[in-house]
Structure 1
Amino acid sequence: MADTKRPPLQIVLCWHMHQPDYFDPTSGRFQDPWTYLHAIKDYVDMVAHLEAHPDMRAVVNFSPVLLEQIEAYTTDLTAVAAGGGRIHDPLLAALHQPLIPNEREERIMLLRACLRGAENRLFENLAVYQRLVATARHMLAHPDEIGYLHDQFFVDLLVWYHLGWIGETVRRSDARIQDLLAHQQHYSMLQCRTLVAVIRELIGGVIDRYRVLADAGRIELSITPYSHPILPLLIDLNSARAAWPDCPMPLAAAYPAGEDRARWQLTRAREVYERFFGHPPAGCWPAEGGVCDRTVALAGEAGFTWVASGQAVLRNSLADEEPAMTALYRPYRLPNGGAACFFRDDALADAIGFVYRDWHADDAVAEFIHRLEAIDAARTDNQPMVVPIILDGENAWEYYPENGYHFLGALYTALASHERLATTTFSAFLEAAPRAAGRLRKLVAGSWVYGTFSTWIGDSEKNRAWDMLAAAKHVFDQRAPALDDATRAAAERQLSLCEASDWFWWFGGDNAADTVTHFERLFRVHLAALYQLLGCDPPDALAHVFTHGVSHGSVDTMRPAH
C-alpha cells in the first residue's frame, strides 16, 4: 500500500535540443542538413508525444542557435512556396528542384549526402531505400560507372532519404506521407514538391507547438547560452584542472575577458528565447552541463532561477559529505547566491540514451519505473524529492524502433498514471518546495561527461583550437571598439559562433575522420569570417588543416556520463 503521508516522488524529464550553427558564411549555404532533418523527425515527434499526454509535465531545452536555424529554414521554405527566394541547404534544395547534376563529382556528393546515417535504425524497415543504398554504395566504390545511373535514381534516393527522416507520428497521421511511402519509385517533381510542402509545414509549425504547451503550463521551456559554449572555460581555462588536475593546457594562459563573453552569451540567450516564446526564461541548461561557482552566479545575475549539471559534478563538490540519495535528489544553492542548481541522475538518463534502445518498449518502461519506485521506497522522511533526468532529446531516437514511438508513448502513459510518481518541471518544483534546496560550500567545475571538461580541452588538437580562438579574441578586443555599431554586433555574434563547444567535442581523440573534417573546416571558416569582419586578413594558419580524426573512428553525437 502506498504511503499517503509521503508526497509523491517528483520526476523531471528534461530533453535538450541542440544543433550547432551549420551555416557556412563563405558559401552562403548550410554545410550539413542535420537541423532540418532532426526538426522533421525528433522535434516534431517529441512535441506530438507531449501533446498526446495532457497529464505529462516535462522540460524542453533549446539552444538559441538551433531556434535561429529553424527560423532560417522556415524563411527559405516560405519564400520559395510564395514563388521567390531560394533554399540555402543544398540537400533540401535538391529535393525541391530535382535537377540532377551531370558532373561526376557532384553526383558523388549527392550520393554520399543521401547515405549519411543510412545504417541507423530509422531506415531498417524501408526496403526500397535499402536497395537504392546498395546500388549507391556500389557506384561509390566504382565511380567510373556513376554515369550509367539515370536521373530518376537520384530523385528516388532523395525522396526515400527524406521519408526515412520523417517523424513516426507524421508517418502515422499524414495521408500525403503515406501515399509517398506506398508509391515506392519513379517519383515525379510534383511528388517531390508535396514532400517539401510537408517539410515546410513541420518546420514552420514546430516551435509554435512547444510554445502552446508552455503557455498552457504543460511543459517548461528553457535555454542554453547563445552558441552553446563551455562557460567555465571561457571564464577561466584553468577550471579544467578543478576535476582533472593533470589536464594538459593550451599555450594561451587565458581566454581574454572571458567573463564578459559569458555574460554576453547568457544575455543573448535570454533575448532569443523571449523573441521566440514571448516571455523571459526561468531556466538554463548550460552547454554540456558545464558549471562552476562563477557561472551559477552569472546565471543568477542574468535572471535565471535554475541551472542544471551532471551527477559527477555534485559528487566532486560534496566530497562524500552526505548520503548519495539525500544529496542527488534535491536542488542546491551556493554561498555566493545565483541560480538554484539541479543535478541529473546519470544512470537513469544513460538508460534511456543507451540501454533501452534494444529492449521491447514495455519491458524498458517497466524496468525504468521499477528504478523510480526503488528510489521512492528508499526515502527515509517526508521531505520533497526530485529526480532530474536530463538527456539529449534528439539523437537517441534513431537507435530505437520507430524513432522511439512506442517507448515514449508507454513511458509517458506509465508516469502520468502512477500513484507514487509525479512529473513536474524545475520551476514548478522550486515554487512548490522553496525550502528543499541544500547548501553547497563549493562547486567543483565540470560537465555531465565524466564530471570533467576532458571532452573539450586537454588533447593537443583541442588545445590548438583554444589557442586559435584566444588569438582571434585578442584581435577582436583591439579592433571591435573602432567598428560601427552594425559591424561590431555582427563581429560579436561571429565570435560567439567560434566559441561554441561543438568544435572542441570533435577535435582529437578517436573521432571519425569524415565528421572531424566537416567540423574542423567550419571552425576555421568561422574564425576567418571573424577576422574579415574585424577588417584584417586571417592568419595563414587558418588555411591549413590541423586535425584529421581517424579512418575508423566513432561518430558519437551522444556519450554516456561515465
Structure 2
Amino acid sequence: MSHPLYIAFIWHQHQPLYKSPGSALSPSQQYRLPWVRLHGTKDYLDLVLLLERYPKLHQTVNLVPSLILQLEDYIAGTAFDPYLTACLTPDEQLSQEQREFIIQHFFDANHHTLIDPHPRYSQLYQQRQEKGQAWCLANWELPDYGDLLAWHNLAWIDPLFWDDPEIATWLKQGRNFSLSDRQRIYSKQREILSRIIPQHRKMQEAGQLEVTTTPYTHPILPLLADTNSGRVAVPNMTLPKQRFQWEEDIPRHLRKAWNFYKDRFGQIPRGLWPSEQSVSPAILPHIINQGFKWICSDEAVLGWTLKHFFYRDGAGNVQQPELLYRPYRLQTAEGDLSIVFRDHRLSDLIGFTYSAMPAKKAAADLVGHLQAIAKMQRESQSEQPWLVTIALDGENCWEFYPEDGKPFLEALYQSLSDEPHLKLVTVSEFLEEFPATATIPGGQLHSGSWVDGSFTTWIGDRAKNRAWDYLTEAREMLASHPEATEENNPEAWEALYAAEGSDWFWWFGAGHSSNQDAIFDQLFREHLFGIYKALNEPVPPYLKQPVEIHEAQGSHTPQGFIHPVIDGKGDEQDWDKAGRIEIGGARGTMHNSSVIQRLWYGVDHLNFYLRLDFKGGVAPGGDFPTELNLLWFYPEKTMVNSPVPLADVPDAAPLNYLFHHLLEVNLLTQSIQFREAGDNYQWHPRFSRAQVALNSCLELAVPWADLQVPPDYPLRLILVLADEGRFCNYLPENALIPIEVP
C-alpha cells in the first residue's frame, strides 16, 4: 500500500511569568514586560485563523499554561505592565523617567519588519538612531511621544487584522494620536486576546487542530528530577554546589497543567510538549501516570538514544530517514508512551532562515524538501507510513518575516493543499491510525533537550549554577514547612512553580542575552522572595543582589542565526546574535590594531556572514590595505589544498596552513574573486554569489553553495590583509575563526 507522506506541524506558544509576585495582593497585576500582550495581538490568533482557511490541513498547537494565565489577566483588564501604563498616561503627565523609558524601550522590535513599514514610526526610530537618546529627550515634543506610544502597539497588531475598520483608520492616520486613540488601541488588543482560546477550542472540536500542553510553568523536568542529569550529555559539566533533586515536583506541574487544560478546553489533553523538548528516563513514569499519550523531542535526542548521528546530504535531506520519520514507543514499568522526534533542520529553516527569502521561494523550498522525503519513502517501499515532525517556536520567528509571515504561510498552505502526496495531520490522528511499532526501552532514552541534545543552556556555568543553588535553598525552606500545603498556602507554591520555570536559566550566564537580562534576573529573585515571604521566613540577603552582573559583552561566539542586510551599514539588530571578536588594541600587536576595531561573524542556512568595523574616518588605500583575503581551512578533511597565494607571507602558523577556498575582496572597488585550490599548489577561478558592501563598515555574505560543504560540518577561517598581492597582516590574532555549518 502506498501512503502519502504525513507531516505534523507543532507550533509551541510560550511566555514566561512576567507577573511580579510582589504585587499579588493588588487588584491589578503588575507585569514587568509586555510580551504576552504584544505577542498575543501579533502571533497566537492569526496563526490558527490562517490555518482555518485551509481545511484539509491539520496541525498541532501547544499552549503553555503560564501563557494562558497571563492572557486571561490582560483580557480581564487586571494586568498592567510599564509599557501599557505609559501608553495610558496623558502625554502632559508623562514623568521624566517615563520619557527616558519610552525612548529607550519603545523601539524594542525588529525594525525591518515592524518599524520601517510605518513611515511615522520609522521617522522616530531614525531620529533616535542617528541623533541619540539624549537629543530625543531634549527635542521631542508631546506629539512625538504620543505617536510613539501608539505605534509601539499598532505595529504589533498582526496584518491579518488590518482590515478591521478601526485598525485601518489608525494605520492611515499615522500621526497625532490622542490618549483616546491609545485607549481604543488597548481595547482592541484585549478584544484580539479574548478570541485566542475560544478559537483554538473551536478548531480542536472541529478536528482541524490538536491543542497540547506543557508542564505548568515550563520547567526543565529532568533537572527538577536531578541536576546531575546534566552530566549525561556533558560528563565533565560543572554542577551547582547543591544537588537539586525534587522529583516530587514533576507530578505537581503535570497535574496542574492537566487540570488547567481540562477547564479551558472541555476535554483531556493527549499530547505533552516537554519544556524545551527536554526528556530523561526519570520523567517518563510521571507523564504516563498523569495520562498523557505522547510527547515530542528533537532528533539530537533520538540520535543520542540510538547512538546514531543523522547525517544529511548536500541538499540538507536526512540520510537513513526511516529512523527519524517514525514514532517510537517508550516502554516503562508504568506503561508505554509514544514519542515523536522533530526534524531539526526543517524546523530551523522556518524558525531562522526562510524569513530572509522571498515568501514563495521559501515555501517552495520547504515543499521541495518534503517532496524529496516523500520520494525516499516511495523508494523505500516501506509498509509503515512516515511522519515528518516539524516543531518550533510559534511566535518569535514571525517578527523577522515580512507581514508577520502571512505571505509565507499562505504560499506554504496553498502548496500543501494542492500536493496530493503530502498530508498534514495532528500527532494524535497519526498515532491513532498508525500506532508506533518501533520501541525504545525507557531507560535507554537520552537525557537532553533540543539544544545540542544537552542541558547546557540551563545549567553548567557559574551564573546558571548559582541560580540553581538559590532555588535549592528556597525549595528546602518550603519543605521544612510541611504545614504549608497548596490548599492553605498557595502563594508559596505558586512562587516555587514560577521560580522553577526554565526561562530564567536560559538568560543567565553564557549563551543568550537581551537588553532585558536584568529584568529576568530580578523576576527570578522576586519569585524566590515570594516563597520566603509566604512562609514568614527571613529573606536571604543574597536575593537582594543580582545573580550576575549584566554588562555589555566583549568577544563571544554566535548566539543564534543572523540574516543581515548586506549594505555596509552594520545594522545593530542584524548582528545582535553574531559572534564577535575584539581586534583593535586588544594587545597592540597588529600593525593596524587601531584601524580594524571589531570582527563579527555568523551564519544561517544559506550563508556565512562577516562584518569588519573600522575606526571612524579611515579609508582603504590610505589608512589600511586595499585587499582582504578570506581563506577557508577544512580540518580533518582530505582535499586538494594550497598555500596563501601572496608574497611575503611569514612561515608561521596559521599562515603556513594549506587552504581550499579563497575569496579576494578589493576594498576600493568592492569587487570579489573566488578561487579553489587545485593540484600543484594552483588556485583556479570559480563563480561566486557572494555579496560585499563597504560603507561605515564592511559586510560580506558567502553562500554555503560556493563552499560546497555538507550540513553539520566544521570550518575554520582566517582573514589576510594585502596590498597589491603582498601580505600585510592577518586577523584574528590568536586563532582561526570557528564556523559550524548548520
Amino acid in the other structure paired with 2:357: W
Is residue 15–residue 67 contact of structure 2 (8 Å, CA) maintained in 1?
A: yes
Does the alignment pair 1:517 with 2:518?
Answer: yes
Q: Give the Cα separation in 1 of the matches to 2:298 and 2:181.
A: 46
Match of 1:463 among 459, 462, 465: 465
Instruction: Determine helix, strand or coil for the equivalent of 1:376.
Output: helix
Query: Is 533-542 or 436-445 further displaced after alignment?
Result: 436-445
Contact 2:11-2:62 at 8 Å conserved across structures: yes
Cα deviations across residues 355-408 of structure 1 (Å, max 9, x unaligned)?
111111111111111111111111211311101100000000010111001111
Q: Displacement, 1:551?
A: 1.2
Which residue of 186, 196, 202 maps to 1:212? 202
Distance 1:93 1:104 in 2: 14
Q: TM-score, normalised by structure 2?
A: 0.70
Cα–Cα, structure 1 residues 224 and 16, in superposed 2: closer, same or farther, change >3 Å? same
Q: 2:255 is matched by which residue type in structure 1? A: T
Match 1:103 to one of 69, 89, 95:
95
Letter of the aligned partner of 1:233 in structure 2?
L
CA distance in 2, matches of 1:445, 1:416: 37
Q: 1:12 aligns with which of 8, 30, 35?
A: 8
CA 226–321 in structure 1, closer or farther in 2 if over 3 Å, else same = same
Alpha-carbon distance in structure 2 between the residues aligned to 1:424 and 1:395:
23
Q: 1:557 to 1:151 in 2, by over 3 A?
A: farther
Specify which of 114, 120, 134 is matched with residue 142 of structure 1: 134
Larger RCO (CA under 8 A, 6+ residues apart): 1
Alpha-carbon distance in 1 for matches of 2:249, 2:440: 28
Deviates more, 1:129-138 or 1:206-215: 129-138
Pairing 1:19-418 to 2, within 5 Å after superposition: 19-27=15-23, 28-76=29-77, 87-119=79-111, 121-137=113-129, 141-142=133-134, 146=137, 148-171=139-162, 173-255=163-245, 258-320=246-308, 324-336=320-332, 337-379=335-377, 380=380, 381-418=382-419
Q: Work out the percentage of aligned pairs sharing the same amino acid.
A: 35
Deviations 1:313-358 (A, max 9, x none): 0000001399731211111122313421110000100111111111
Deviations 1:490-519 (A, max 9, x none): 211210100000000000015436322111
Match of 1:419 in 2: 420
Q: CA shift at 1:168, angstroms? A: 1.3
3-state DSSP of counterpart to 2:101 = helix
| C-alpha distance after superposition, 1:129-151 (max 9, x if no partner) | 011123345675326x6254322
SS of the residue 1:409 aligns to: helix
Cα pair distance change 1:360/1:118, threshold 3 Å: closer
Contact 1:100 1:154 in 2 (8 A): no
Matched, 1:474 2:476: yes
Which whole-Å CA distance do the structure 2 matches of 1:234 and 1:90 have between them?
32
Aligned pair in 2 of structure 1 residues 556, 227: CA closer, same or farther (>3 Å)? farther
TM-score with structure 1 length normalisation?
Answer: 0.92
> What do the CA deviations read for 1:91-132 (whole angstroms, capped 9, x no partner)?
223334434544322210122231212535222211210111
Question: Following the alignment from structure 2 to structure 1, what is the Cα–Cα distance between the partners of residues 50 and 94?
Answer: 43
Instruction: Report the structure, 1 or 2, having the larger strand content.
Output: 2
With over 3 angstroms needed to count, the CA separation of the structure-2 counterparts of 1:447 and 1:118, relative to structure 1, is closer
Q: Structure 1 residues 518 and 556, CA, compared in 2 at 3 Å: closer, same or farther?
A: farther
Given that 2:326 and 2:386 are in contact with CA atoms closer than 8 Å, whether structure 1 keeps it comes out as yes
Residue by residue, what CA displacement relative to the aligned partner does 1:290-319 show, whole Å, maximum 9, x if unpaired? 001122222111110000001000000001
What SS does structure 1 have at the residue aligned with 2:85? helix
> Helix, strand or coil: the match of 1:281?
coil
In structure 2, distance between residues paired with 1:189 and 1:546:
39
Paired AA for residue 134 in structure 2: H
3-state secondary structure, aligned to 1:215: helix
CA 1:456–1:155 in structure 2 vs 1: closer, same or farther (change >3 Å)?
same
User: Which residue does 1:80 correspond to in 2?
Assistant: none
RMSD between aligned alpha carbons?
2.2
Given that 1:510 and 1:550 are in contact with CA atoms closer than 8 Å, whether structure 2 keeps it comes out as no
Assess if the C-alpha contact under 8 Å between 1:513 and 1:548 holds in 2.
no
Residues 31 and 79 in structure 2, CA contact (< 8 A), matched pair in contact too: no
Question: What SS does the aligned partner of 1:228 have?
Answer: coil
- State the shift of 1:435 in Å: 4.6
Farther off after superposition, 51-60 or 186-195: 186-195
C-alpha distance 485-373 of structure 1, shift in aligned 2 (>3 A) = closer
| Cα separation, partners in 2 of 1:437 and 1:219, compared to 1, 3 Å | farther
Give the Cα–Cα distance (whole angstroms) in 2 for the partners of residues 534 and 138 of structure 1. 51
Question: In structure 2, how many angstroms separate the alpha carbons of the residues matched to 1:460 and 1:72?
Answer: 35
**Residue 481 (structure 2) pairs with residue 449 (structure 1):** no
User: By how many angstroms is 1:87 displaced?
Assistant: 4.8
Q: Distance in 1 between matches of 2:144 and 2:309?
A: 64
Moved more, 155-164 or 91-100: 91-100
More deviation, 418-427/189-198? 189-198
For the Cα contact (< 8 Å) 1:332–1:440, is it kept in 2?
A: no
Q: Which has the higher helix share?
A: 1
Whole-angstrom distance in 2 between the partners of 1:231 and 1:309: 13
Query: What does the per-residue CA deviation read over 1:192-251, in whole Å, with 9 as the maximum and x for residues that have no partner?
Result: 232222112101111111111011011100001000000000001111111111111111
Q: Which residue of 2 aligns with 1:82?
A: none
SS at match of 2:169: helix
| Deviation digits for residues 251-285 of structure 1 (CA, Å, limit 9, x no counterpart) | 11233xx2110110111111111111111100000
2:281 touches 2:446 (CA, 8 Å); kept in 1? yes
CA contact (8 A) 2:261 2:268 kept: yes
The corresponding residue for 2:739 is none
- Report how many residues are paired: 544
User: C-alpha displacement at 1:26, in angstroms?
Assistant: 2.3
Q: Which amino acid aligns with 1:452?
A: S
Provide closer, same or farther for how the CA distance between residues 102 and 325 of structure 1 changes in structure 2, counting only shifts above 3 A.
Answer: closer
TM-fit CA distance, 1:418: 1.1
Q: Name stretches of at least 5 consecutive residues in structure 1 with no aligned partner.
A: 77-85
Q: Is the 8 Å Cα contact of residues 10 and 391 (structure 2) preserved in structure 1?
A: yes
Letter of the 1:164 partner, please give it: A
CA distance in 1, matches of 2:512, 2:176: 38
What amino acid sits opposite 2:7 in the alignment? I
Structure 2 contact 244–468 (Cα < 8 Å) conserved: no
Counterpart-to-counterpart distance in 2, 1:100 and 1:19:
33
498-507 or 269-278: bigger deviation: 269-278
CA–CA distance in structure 2, aligned partners of residues 433 and 321 of structure 1 = 26
Cα contact 1:104–1:147 (8 A) shared by 2: no
**Cα contact 1:288–1:447 (8 A) shared by 2:** yes
**Alpha-carbon distance in 2 for matches of 1:280, 1:214:** 12
